[in-house]
């Protein structure tokens, strides 16, 4: 049965932009429901990278020759696109990293570590991805500071009352996910930033899951740091961004040393380059940055609001369809939620679910989703997770439901 | 690659009703197995009588493959000498690594051979066996498949 999807969004034509979607897995058409782990790429991104490598590649910032200038323009052009897209004030505030993980580690080591003292606290939440937990644990271990963890409720929502109570004179930094990858919960980040700033506490937002789903305006949010990854938003792997307020980035020491990040080197003294280069030691991922720039163009062309509307429709449809399966429990039922559905199925371990639905062509994620504390909170070793992106359809959800029936049949 | 090769009847049966699925009150040896990839955790309990495995049981949570493998293992290892148990481990290892010629000597355990066509699931089948060896070694650390 064919369904119509949200009217103002031409999903059929969007799907044509993604070559990887059009293949068979175990003889069945691929149904890709694992975009929260990593999304697929549109042709526009593949072409941008290919063109860059075929025609424009050289090292950046170093040569006077034409290719080096073209490469520099392409690389810096991508930075400007990102600046504009997230509404940062200047490109000095856009640091290219390998991804969200590296961006958070940069802040933990270069911002937090030199400032933290015994007795100081860093506040995170229970629903964080490991990459927004471990870097803070490391910085706390290195400095004698304490990591505080705000609790969540049974629906998978941050308990804001408890969160606010955990903020004290000792809180030096708050690091919070915009959207939870394991539960889909959208956190009230604007409220958190406002509350924290009244107390002059800086806030880092892990935006890995938010960029493909929502408009992110760092100036309107007012956050101090915002981290995201290219590959979750239909861009390349190996590239991501740390947005940081210029005043904060300026005051931070470089994290890694090497080429690109210096002004002048002698054995007596090295002076560092200005932002953003100060934090980009070594030859960067140039083609990946170019690809990320193309991703931004692609998202702007479709319009993130239209994308969000389409996904909202899919989430409602999937929640309804999955809830009807006997023994299926949705883990994470926040009121404000992105298109992620984590679930368990009675008598079927997520690992078995993953293998069996794969044989029906359906790709979902199974496991702890790099959020072991969330699994412990809900008392499950793992969940199965279907995550939907702009190219998914109601038919994809129907295929998932049919595949879950197959799980029943195989394991019964 | 057929699903039925992975989920053979013996495996489904042992998943539905795992044998020796309990905690032993006074084990002489015990070890945990943990697969961080899927969150599978299990504990293997042994009662050794000298050189012989007098009793063996397991508990924990895991996927069908890991539960069935644990269950089949307890049946196969009970009553064996330590040396025989270690030989069985080697044979299982070879089977899961895709070496042919082991199936004959493994009897019922050969049903786990289908797993080798599913590389992401091999560790599910080997977890209990790693825990068994850790228990025999008297290891303090949980066994991992990594
Ligand atoms: C919420 C969240 N934060 C951080 C990350 C880490 O991103 P990356 O692995 O691209 O650095 C992920 C990706 O899994 C994520 O979902």
Q: What domains lie within chain B, and their CATH numbers?
A: 3-140 (3.90.1010.10)
Distances (CA, A) of A230 to A49, A105, A188, A224: 13, 17, 23, 20
Which residues lie below 8 Å from residue A6, measured CB to CB, with a gap of 6+? A309, A310, A312, A313
> Sign of the C-alpha dihedral, residues A198, A177, A341, A305?
positive
Whole-number average pLDDT of chain B = 91
The torsion of the CA quartet A119, A120, A122, A125, rounded to 10 degrees, works out to: 40
Is residue A277 within 8 A of residue A61, CB to CB? The reply is yes
Distances (CA, A) of A385 to A32, A33, A176, A209, A336: 12, 8, 21, 14, 17
Instruction: Report chain A residues whose CB lies below 8 A from the CB of B39.
Output: 367-368, 372, 375, 381-382
B39 and A411 in contact by Cβ < 8 A?
A: no
Which pLDDT value is given to residue B141?
62
* Chain B residue closest in CA terms to A351: B63
The partner residue sitting opposite B37, judged by closest CB among A367, A375, A411, is A367
Give the residues across from B30 on adjacent strands.
B45
Is residue A150 within 8 A of residue A124, CB to CB? The reply is yes
* Same-domain status, A25 and A57: no
Q: Is residue A20 one of the residues assigned to a domain?
A: yes
Instruction: Decide: helix, strand or coil at residue B128.
Output: helix
Give the residues across from A205 on adjacent strands.
A176, A226
**Radius of gyration, CA atoms only, chain A:** 22
Q: Is residue A168 one of the residues assigned to a domain?
A: yes
Q: Is residue A241 one of the residues assigned to a domain?
A: yes
Q: Which of A21, A370, A372, A401 is catalytic?
A: A370
What ipTM was reported for this prediction?
0.89
Which of residues A266, A301, A336 is at a domain's end?
Answer: A301
Mutate to test the interface with A, among B5, B7, B64, B125 (most CBs of A within 10 A): B64
* Cβ–Cβ contact A130 with B under 8 A: no
* Same-domain status, A273 and A344: no
* Same-domain status, A404 and A356: yes
Cα A243 to ligand 1 centroid, rounded to whole Å: 15
Mutate to test the interface with B, among A381, A403, A405, A406 (most CBs of B within 10 A): A381
The ligand 1 atom at the shortest distance from the C-alpha of residue A178 is 1
Is residue A86 within 8 A of residue A244, CB to CB? The reply is no
DSSP-assigned states of every residue in A224-241: SEEEEESGGGTS-TT-EE
Q: Among all chains, which residue has been given the structure tokens 């989430």?
A: A315
Q: Is residue A39 one of the residues assigned to a domain?
A: no
* Same-domain status, A250 and A105: yes
Which pLDDT value is given to residue A130?
97
Range B85-114 burial, b when 16+ CB lie within 10 A, else e: beebbebbebbbeeeeebbeebeebbbbbb
Domain hosting residue A402, numbered range: 6-32+303-411
Instruction: Decide: helix, strand or coil at residue A96.
Output: strand
CATH number of the domain to which A322 belongs? 3.90.1150.10
pLDDT category of residue A4 using cuts at 50, 70 and 90:
very low
A381 and B38 in contact by Cβ < 8 A?
A: yes
Whether the predicted pLDDT of A6 surpasses 60: no
Q: What residue's CA is closest to ligand 1, atom 9?
A: A101
Q: State pLDDT tens for residues A14-42.
A: 999 999 999 999 999 999 999 999 999 99
* Same-domain status, A171 and A247: yes
Ligand 1 probe mutation, A101, A130, A238, A367, most atoms within 8 A of CB: A101
pLDDT category of residue B145 using cuts at 50, 70 and 90:
low
Q: Among all chains, which residue has been given the structure tokens 């007098």?
A: B54
Which pLDDT value is given to residue A106?
98
Which of residues A243, A271, A301 is at a domain's end?
Answer: A301
Instruction: Decide: helix, strand or coil at residue A333.
Output: coil
> Sign of the C-alpha dihedral, residues B132, B138, B142, B146?
negative
- Please count the other Cβ atoms lying within 10 Å of the Cβ belonging to residue A15: 15
First to last CA, chain B: 25
* Same-domain status, A225 and A347: no
Which pLDDT value is given to residue A2?
45
Q: State pLDDT tens for residues A130-188.
A: 999 999 999 999 999 999 999 999 999 999 999 999 999 999 999 999 999 999 999 99
Q: Is residue A91 one of the residues assigned to a domain?
A: yes
User: CB within 6 Å of ligand 1 — which residues?
Assistant: A 99-101, 129, 131-132, 177, 181, 206, 208-209, 229, 370
The partner residue sitting opposite B40, judged by closest CB among A26, A359, A381, is A381
Q: Is residue A323 one of the residues assigned to a domain?
A: yes
- Please count the other Cβ atoms lying within 10 Å of the Cβ belonging to residue A343: 23
Distance CA(A286)–CA(A288), nearest Å, equals: 5
- When mean pLDDT is compared over A187-196, B3-12, B34-43, B121-130, the highest value belongs to A187-196
Which pLDDT value is given to residue B36?
78
Which pLDDT value is given to residue A62?
77
CATH number of the domain to which A85 belongs? 3.40.640.10
* Same-domain status, A295 and A316: no
User: Considering its fold, how many domains does chain A have in total?
Assistant: 2
The ligand 1 atom at the shortest distance from the C-alpha of residue A240 is 10
Which residues lie below 8 Å from residue A204, measured CB to CB, with a gap of 6+? A104, A107, A173, A174, A175, A176, A223, A224, A225, A226, A227
pLDDT category of residue A259 using cuts at 50, 70 and 90:
confident
* Same-domain status, A223 and A107: yes
Which pLDDT value is given to residue A12?
97
DSSP-assigned states of every residue in A293-309: HHHHHHHHHH-HHHHHH
pLDDT, mean of residues A234-258: 96
Which of residues A252, A267, A301 is at a domain's end?
Answer: A301
Whole-number average pLDDT of chain A = 96
The ligand 1 atom at the shortest distance from the C-alpha of residue A98 is 11
Query: How far A213 CA sits from the closest chain B CA (Å)?
Result: 27
Q: Is residue A221 one of the residues assigned to a domain?
A: yes
Q: Is residue A369 one of the residues assigned to a domain?
A: yes
A68 token code pair: 């080096």
**Radius of gyration, CA atoms only, chain B:** 14
B39 and A366 in contact by Cβ < 8 A?
A: no
* Chain A residue closest in CA terms to B8: A410
Distance CA(A139)–CA(A127), nearest Å, equals: 19
Half-sphere exposure of residue A126: CA atoms within 13 angstroms, side-chain side: 22
Instruction: Report chain A residues whose CB lies below 8 A from the CB of B18.
Output: none
Which pLDDT value is given to residue A260?
83
Distances (CA, A) of A203 to A99, A118, A194, A340, B23: 18, 20, 10, 25, 47
Query: How far A237 CA sits from the closest chain B CA (Å)?
Result: 21
pLDDT category of residue B139 using cuts at 50, 70 and 90:
low
Of residues A177, A301, A317, the one with CA closest to residue A234: A301
Cα A352 to ligand 1 centroid, rounded to whole Å: 24
Q: State pLDDT tens for residues A263-284.
A: 889 898 889 999 999 999 999 9
Give the residues across from A365 on adjacent strands.
A385
* Same-domain status, A90 and A215: yes
Is residue A331 within 8 A of residue A385, CB to CB? The reply is no
Is residue A370 part of the annotated active site? The answer reads yes
* Same-domain status, A375 and A309: yes
The torsion of the CA quartet B72, B75, B81, B84, rounded to 10 degrees, works out to: -30
Express as a percent the part of chain A with pLDDT over 70.
98
The ligand 1 atom at the shortest distance from the C-alpha of residue A128 is 1
DSSP code for B105: H
Q: State pLDDT tens for residues B59-111.
A: 998 999 999 999 999 999 999 999 999 999 999 999 998 887 767 778 899 99
Mutate to test the interface with A, among B11, B17, B36, B38 (most CBs of A within 10 A): B38
């Amino acid at each position: 049965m064919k369904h119509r999807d949200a009217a103002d969004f031409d999903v059929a034509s969007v799907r044509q932009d993604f070559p990887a979607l059009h293949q068979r897995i175990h003889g069945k058409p691929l149904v890709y429901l694992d975009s929260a782990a990593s999304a697929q790429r549109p042709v526009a991104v593949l072409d941008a990278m290919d063109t860059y490598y075929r025609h424009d590649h050289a090292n950046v910032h170093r040569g006077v020759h034409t290719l080096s200038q073209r490469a520099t323009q392409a690389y810096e052009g991508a930075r400007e696109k990102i600046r504009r897209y997230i509404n940062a004030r200047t490109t000095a505030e856009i640091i290219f990293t390998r991804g969200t993980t590296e961006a958070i580690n940069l802040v933990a080591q270069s911002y937090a570590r030199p400032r933290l003292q015994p007795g100081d606290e860093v506040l995170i939440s229970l629903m964080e991805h490991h990459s927004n937990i471990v870097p803070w644990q490391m910085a706390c271990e290195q400095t004698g500071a304490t990591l505080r963890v705000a609790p969540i409720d049974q629906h998978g929502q941050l308990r804001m009352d408890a969160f606010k109570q955990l903020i004290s004179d000792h809180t030096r930094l708050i690091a919070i996910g915009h959207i939870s990858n394991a539960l889909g919960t959208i956190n009230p980040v604007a409220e958190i930033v406002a509350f924290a700033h009244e107390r002059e506490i800086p806030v880092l937002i892990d935006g890995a899951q938010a960029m493909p789903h929502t408009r992110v305006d760092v100036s309107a949010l007012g956050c101090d740091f915002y981290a995201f990854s290219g590959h979750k938003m239909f861009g390349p792997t190996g590239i991501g961004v740390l947005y940081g307020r210029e005043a904060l980035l300026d005051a931070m020491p470089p994290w890694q040393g090497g080429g690109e990040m210096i002004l002048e080197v002698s054995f007596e003294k090295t002076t560092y380059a200005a932002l953003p280069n100060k934090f980009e030691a070594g030859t960067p991922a140039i083609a990946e940055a170019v690809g990320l720039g193309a991703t931004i163009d692609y998202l702007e062309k479709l319009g993130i609001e239209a994308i969000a509307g389409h996904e909202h429709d899919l989430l409602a449809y999937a929640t309804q369809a999955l809830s009807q399966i006997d023994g299926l429990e949705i883990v994470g039922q926040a009121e404000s939620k992105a298109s992620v559905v984590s679930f368990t199925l009675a008598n079927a371990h997520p690992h078995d679910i993953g293998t069996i639905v794969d044989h029906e062509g359906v790709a979902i994620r199974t496991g702890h989703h790099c959020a072991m504390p969330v699994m412990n909170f809900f008392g499950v070793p793992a969940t199965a997770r279907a995550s939907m992106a702009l190219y998914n359809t109601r038919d994809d959800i129907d295929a998932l439901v049919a595949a879950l029936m197959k799980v029943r049949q195989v394991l019964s | 690659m057929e699903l039925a090769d992975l989920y053979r009847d013996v495996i489904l049966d042992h998943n539905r009703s795992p044998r020796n699925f309990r905690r032993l009150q006074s084990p002489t040896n015990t070890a945990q197995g943990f697969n961080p990839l899927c969150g599978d955790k299990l504990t293997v309990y042994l009662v050794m009588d000298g050189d012989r495995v007098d009793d063996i049981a397991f508990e924990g949570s895991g996927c069908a493959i890991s539960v069935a493998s644990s269950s089949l293992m307890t049946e196969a290892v009970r009553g064996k000498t330590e040396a025989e148990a270690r030989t069985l481990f080697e044979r299982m290892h070879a089977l899961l690594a895709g070496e042919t010629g082991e199936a004959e000597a493994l009897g019922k355990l050969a049903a786990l051979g289908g797993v080798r066509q599913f590389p992401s699931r091999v560790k599910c089948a080997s977890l209990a066996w790693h825990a068994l060896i850790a228990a025999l070694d008297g290891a303090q650390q949980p066994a991992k498949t990594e």
